[in-house]
């Protein structure tokens, strides 16, 4: 089959690779319809995240139809329309039971193979899904494949980011980073009742979309925005910061802009060995810091349901649709934010 593989830093190849096979009785094979490039793929692309085997199939965002199932699969049939969270999960272990599906003891991340072990990704014609019954979510024809794809990652991650920010209607909040995840966090914060949400980025079209999702856009391209932010919060800083960048400088900014006693909800993927603030700085501000991979699977059914009722169109973030064979171009467009790119989808 055809697939996008990681070769080395800044080199994503459109390759011919072996078709995936059913390896376990609980596996399914999904025929991929559409897949996407995520900010998380960029950490690998830039070799900020290292250790990935050369030749690993990239990607963890996809929808498609069931093409084959193992003997133990009960809930799924050939032809079902399915979306996956970006990690697999068993549904029965301690972590799945408490809603931390991203830390399932049997779970794996798509597109991560190291020293010959791990799971290939979904930027391909077919993908193997372990623990298929408890990982995959069926969606019906009322929901577009593109909306479903976003729910498997960026929509769920944004929702989680807002959930762990302890929002209240009277609070004043800021989202740092208006990429797909930050835009979805912005929308989620508004849906979860926050009235005043500032959205911080440097990219005009991303700020414009944040405004359409109910935020007050604030360009951080020059320093005036800090005065506006402090004036808006009577000099205190924000009640919570939703960090959706994944860099030390963004967390440092979150630390500087959160008020004493406030919360930093960080969903950016961090690859640094050190915190961006010290224990004494955290102590002196009484901050709560929540960080980590989002348990996307936990939120997917409710977010699919919400798509049918919502007046917002989450698929507005998708600016580019390319064939899988143009995968390398999609990485470049998304990474460089060229041609107004916010989210790039690959058609298989």
Reading the block at residue 78, the tokens are 């050939």
d(CA 156, CA 297): 8
d(CA 259, CA 76): 48
Reading the block at residue 345, the tokens are 């989808």
d(CA 326, CA 324): 5
Shortest CB 297 distance to ligand NAD, Å: 11
Report what 177 binds from Zn ion, ligand NAD, none; CB cut-off 5-8 Å by kind. ligand NAD
- Alpha-carbon distance values, 327 to 5, 37, 85, 146, 254 (Å): 10, 9, 21, 17, 33
Applying CB under 6 A, among 203, 207, 218, 333 the residue interacting with ligand NAD is: 203
The three-state secondary structure class of 170 is coil
Applying CB under 6 A, among 201, 265, 303, 304 the residue interacting with ligand NAD is: 201
Applying CB under 6 A, among 121, 171, 179, 237 the residue interacting with ligand NAD is: 179
Which helix H or strand E contains 14, and what residues bound it?
strand 11-16
Shortest CB 167 distance to ligand NAD, Å: 18
**What x/- string results for residues 262 through 301 when contact with ligand NAD is judged by CB under 6 A?**
-----xxx-----------------------xx-------
- Cβ–Cβ < 8 Å for 32, 124: yes
Nearer to Zn ion, 5 or 35 (CB): 35
User: Does 253 help bind ligand NAD (rule: CB under 6 A)?
Assistant: yes
- Radius of gyration for the chain, computed over Cα atoms and rounded to the nearest angstrom: 20
Give the number of residues in contact with Zn ion, rule: CB under 5 A.
3
Applying CB under 5 A, among 5, 26, 35, 40 the residue interacting with Zn ion is: 40
User: Does 258 help bind ligand NAD (rule: CB under 6 A)?
Assistant: no
Nearer to ligand NAD, 39 or 107 (CB): 39
Binding site for Zn ion (CB under 5 A): 38, 40, 153
């Amino acid at each position: 089959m055809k697939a996008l593989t990681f070769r080395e830093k800044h080199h994503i190849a459109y390759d011919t690779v072996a078709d995936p096979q059913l390896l376990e009785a609980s596996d399914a094979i999904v025929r991929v319809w559409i897949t996407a490039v995520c900010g998380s793929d960029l950490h690998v692309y830039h070799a900020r995240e290292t250790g990935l085997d050369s030749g690993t199939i990239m990607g963890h965002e996809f929808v498609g139809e069931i093409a084959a199932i193992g003997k133990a699969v009960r809930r799924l049939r050939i032809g079902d329309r399915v979306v996956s969270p970006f990690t697999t999960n068993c549904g029965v272990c301690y972590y799945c039971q408490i809603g931390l599906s991203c830390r399932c003891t049997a779970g794996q991340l798509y597109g991560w193979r190291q020293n010959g072990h791990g799971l290939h990704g979904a930027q391909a014609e077919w993908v193997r899904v372990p623990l298929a019954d408890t990982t995959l979510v069926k969606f019906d024809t009322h929901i577009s494949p593109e909306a479903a794809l976003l729910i498997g990652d960026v929509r769920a991650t944004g929702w989680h980011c807002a959930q762990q920010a302890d929002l209240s209607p009277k609070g004043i909040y800021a989202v740092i980073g208006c990429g797909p995840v930050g835009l979805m966090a912005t929308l989620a914060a508004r849906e979860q009742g926050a009235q005043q949400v500032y959205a911080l980025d440097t990219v005009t079209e991303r700020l414009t979309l944040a405004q359409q999702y109910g935020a007050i856009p604030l360009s951080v391209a020059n320093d005036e925005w800090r005065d506006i932010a402090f004036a808006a919060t009577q000099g205190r800083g924000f009640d919570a910061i939703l960090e959706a960048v994944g860099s030390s400088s963004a967390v440092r900014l979150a630390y500087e802009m959160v008020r004493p006693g406030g919360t930093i909800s960080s969903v950016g993927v961090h690859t640094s060995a050190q915190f961006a603030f010290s224990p004494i700085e955290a102590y002196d501000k009484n901050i709560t810091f929540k960080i980590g991979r989002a348990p996307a699977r936990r939120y997917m059914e409710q977010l699919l349901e919400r798509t049918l009722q919502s007046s917002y169109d989450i698929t507005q973030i998708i600016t580019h649709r390319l064939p899988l064979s143009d995968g390398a171009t999609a990485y470049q467009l998304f990474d460089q934010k060229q041609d107004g790119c916010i989210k790039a989808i690959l058609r298989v």
